Amino acid sequence: MRFSNNPLITPKDIQPTTDGYEVFSVLNPAACTFNDEVLLLLRVIERPVQTKGFLSIGVLDVGSGGYKRLDFSLDDPLLNYDDPRVIKYDGVTYLTGMSHLRLARSRDGVNFKIDPKPTIMPSTYEERYSIEDARITKLGAAYYVYYVAVADFGFSTILLKTTDFVRFERIGNIFPGVNKDVAIFPEKINGMYAALHRPDTGFFANPSMWMAYSPDLVHWGQYSLLMQPRAGKWDSSRIGAGTVPLKTDKGWLEIYHGADEDHRYSLGVLLLDADDPSKILYRDSKPLIEPAMDYETNGFFKDVVFTNGMVVSPEDPGKMFLYYGSADERVCGAALMLDELIGRCNCPGRAAKPRVVMSRL
């Protein structure tokens, strides 16, 4: 079911934002259909072209909107770079790469053309280090784009609204603190907007999936635990939403990610009750996709498949295109038949062919 032309997009396919910078990763795209095209909103990670003896990074210069370059001498005893994703210098933590979001477009969902310039760059103080791992939810005629913002003082979830993917209106910071993997349902449920999310759980427990509800998309509450990692299984260490939930006549279909103790990230199927998504109808005991291909097992962070979006094939309403980041470095795709996905879920009446239900506001 993986696309035969995987990986679809690799860092060398992406033009850097500015001279003197290089793209070292492209991953975890949001996905939607818009004007007869499949759109991916790629997370692109850049850094300055490195020079011998130095570790160089870029952070947002909030005033100018451009990059501010920081160069750390590898000899400097104040520098700590044990983790490839972060560096620590003199008590301050930085990211080794700054991410922005960039559109890729496709008529067939398989072959993508990448925009030469960023679509959404970090622009505010909450986004000084990076904007990462977007998802897109269509609600009525509007598309809502939301992502994790990273700054020197912590994490935010920022919500934008667009109708044309050219202009983006900033709605606000909708989840505080370390809260990732937000996926907003594409219609109201019992009169309220709903979302999956993954708040930090401190030292007590492993990251879990929670529900939240909102009257207006701006203010969220009614937080409740949906499900936790499962000891001994593929999703034993941490779990979070993957795709934006897709409404089917059997319930909300969600592809979520789980990692085990070895930080091996796989994807599994979850089916939630249509009227009360806090009810779990089915959860995969074995992963749907686990790292297996060389482009998934080797890379910037090995053994990772991680999804932020799935669309219905432009040509076949019974076929889904799932997009995912592999090894935190590349973008891949897989074709999944809806009846096979729902067939895993032990639904009553499973003999009847499942179908996608168009969401409405």
Q: Cα separation of 134 and 162, whole Å?
A: 14
CA 154 to chain centre: 18
Q: Which stretch binds a copy of itself (CB under 8 A): 112-120, 224-232, 245-253, 264-272?
A: 224-232
Residue partners of 73: CB distance under 8 A and separation at least 6: 53, 54, 79
The 3-state DSSP class for residue 342 equals helix
- Interface with a copy of itself (CB under 8 A), residue from 42, 45, 139, 150: 150
Establish if 221 lies at the interface with a copy of itself (CB under 8 A). Answer: yes
**In the bound complex, what is the minimum distance in angstroms from residue 202's beta carbon to a copy of itself?**
4
Please identify which residue in 152, 169, 275, 276 interacts with a copy of itself, judged by CB under 8 A. Answer: 152
Residue 95 to residues 63, 70, 119, 157, 283: CA-CA distances in angstroms?
A: 20, 11, 21, 17, 34
The rounded distance, in Å, linking the Cα atoms of 128 and 294 is 34
Nearer to a copy of itself, 60 or 174 (CB): 174
Label the pairing between strands 330-337 and 193-199: unpaired
Query: Which of residues 189, 212, 259, 288 is near a copy of itself by CB under 8 A?
Result: 212
- Cβ-based nearer residue to a copy of itself, 60 or 320: 60
Which residue among 4, 64, 190, 224 contacts a copy of itself (CB under 8 A)? 224
* 82 counts as binding a copy of itself under rule CB under 8 A: no
> Cα dihedral angle (145, 45, 60, 129), rounded to 10 degrees?
80
Among 1, 78, 142, 218, interactor with a copy of itself by CB under 8 A: 218
Going by C-alpha positions, the residue among 170, 173, 175 that lies closest to residue 200 is: 175
CB of 157 to a copy of itself, least distance (A): 9
Stretch that binds a copy of itself, among 38-46, 210-218, 324-332, 343-351 (CB under 8 A): 210-218
Provide the minimum distance between the beta carbon of 317 and a copy of itself in the complex, in angstroms, as a whole number.
35
Question: Phi then psi for 5, rounded to 5 degrees?
Answer: -95, 20
State which residue, 37 or 181, has the beta carbon closest to a copy of itself: 181
Contact range with a copy of itself by CB under 8 A, out of 39-47, 138-146, 225-233, 277-285 = 225-233
Positions in 104-133 near a copy of itself (CB under 8 A) = 125-126
C-alpha 45/C-alpha 227 separation (Å) is 31
CB 174 within 8 A of CB 217: yes
Binder among 20, 66, 215, 317 for a copy of itself (CB under 8 A): 215
Task: Supply the DSSP symbol for 353.
Answer: P
- The letter for the amino acid at 270 is L
Which is nearer to a copy of itself, 195 or 305 (by Cβ)?
195
Q: Given candidates 151, 194, 289, 345, which one binds a copy of itself under the rule CB under 8 A?
A: 151
> Is the distance from CB of 361 to CB of 187 less than 8 angstroms?
yes
Smallest gap from Cβ 94 to a copy of itself, in A, equals: 9
| Residues 161-200 within binding reach of a copy of itself (CB under 8 A) | 172-179, 197, 199-200
Closer to a copy of itself by CB, 197 or 257: give it.
197
Neighbours of 78 (CB within 10 A): 11
43-68 core/surface letters (b: 16 or more CB in 10 A; e: else): bbbbbbeeeeeebbbbbbebeeeebe
Nearer to a copy of itself (CB atom), residue 6 or residue 157: 157
> Using CB under 8 A as the criterion, which residues of the chain lie in contact with a copy of itself when the complex forms?
86, 91, 93, 125-126, 150-156, 172-179, 197, 199-205, 208, 210, 212-216, 218-225, 228, 231
